[in-house]
Amino acid sequence: MRERITEWMHLLPEGTGGTLLLLVQLVVALTLVGWAYNRGFRPVERGPIIRLLLLIPAFGLALLVRHIHSEVWQPVLIAVAVIIAGFFGRTGNGRSMGVPMMMIAALLGLNLMLSAIVLTAVAVLVYLLSPVKKR
């Protein structure tokens, strides 16, 4: 089986494994935060656990932060992404989970895994313990 996998590995571009791992990490974080966010809603009001319109920009931010190595442009890029997520995440009944997911994506893009895990745990706890009307 291992020989078959190595036969086809030359077809993938260099760095594909790290990119796929980053995507899997974002999907896991989004699944946990999405599950906690949906817990307080009635079944009719619940949205999807994995929001594709949130995963794509978060993945793009993580890739950009990982690609750009400038000490000036990384914080600017992260700040702009969080501000845009805050504007677009505003709904009639409160904030969505866009801002924490952009911050988690930025931490994952910077390879700060422990910080991303702690921020994911904090976001899950906040969404589990906060009433729905405050979100």
- Segment 73-87, tens digit of pLDDT: 999 999 999 999 888
- Could you tell me the pLDDT band of residue 17, with boundaries at 50, 70 and 90? confident
- Could you tell me the pLDDT band of residue 58, with boundaries at 50, 70 and 90? very high
Which of 3-12, 18-27, 122-131 is predicted least confidently?
3-12
Return d(Cα 24, Cα 28) in angstroms, integer.
6
pTM metric for this prediction: 0.85
Does pLDDT of 16 surpass 70?
yes
Which sign does the torsion angle of CA 85, 88, 93, 97 carry?
negative
Q: Among candidates 119, 117, 85, which has minimal Cα distance to 102?
A: 85
Mean pLDDT value of segment 2-15: 71
Q: Are 54 and 98 in contact (CB under 8 A)?
A: yes
Return d(Cα 89, Cα 96) in angstroms, integer.
5
